[in-house]
Amino acid sequence: MVTSGLRKPWGLTELPDGRFVVTEREEGTLVIVTREGEISAPLIGVPAVYNGGQGGLLDVAIDPNFASNRWIYFSYSENRGNNQNGTSVARGRLSADEKSLENVTVIFRQMPAWNSTLHFGSRLVFDRNGLLYVTLGERSNPEPRQQSQDRNSLLGKVVRINPDGTVPSSNPFVGVANTKPEIWSYGHRNVQSAALHPVTGELWTVEHGPRGGDEINRPEAGKNYGWPVITYGIDYSGQPIGAGITAQQGMEQPVYYWDPVIGPSGTTFYEGDMFPWQNNLLIGSLNPGGVVRIMLNGNRVVGEERLLSELKRVRDVEVTSDGAFWVVNDENQLVRVSRGD
DSSP 8-state class, residue 238? S
What's the rounded Cα separation, in Å, for the pair 86 and 59? 14
What's the rounded Cα separation, in Å, for the pair 78 and 48? 7
Specify the amino acid at residue 330: D
Asked if 135 and 188 count as a contact pair (C-beta separation under 8 A), the reply is yes
Q: Which of 119, 188, 197, 208 is catalytic?
A: 119
Asked if 118 and 150 count as a contact pair (C-beta separation under 8 A), the reply is no
Picking from 111, 115, 94, 112, the residue whose alpha carbon sits closest to that of residue 103 is: 94
Specify the amino acid at residue 95: S
What spatial distance separates the first Cα and last Cα of the chain, rounded to whole Å? 18
Residue 119 bears catalytic tag = yes
What's the rounded Cα separation, in Å, for the pair 194 and 239? 29
Query: What positions carry a catalytic annotation?
Result: 119
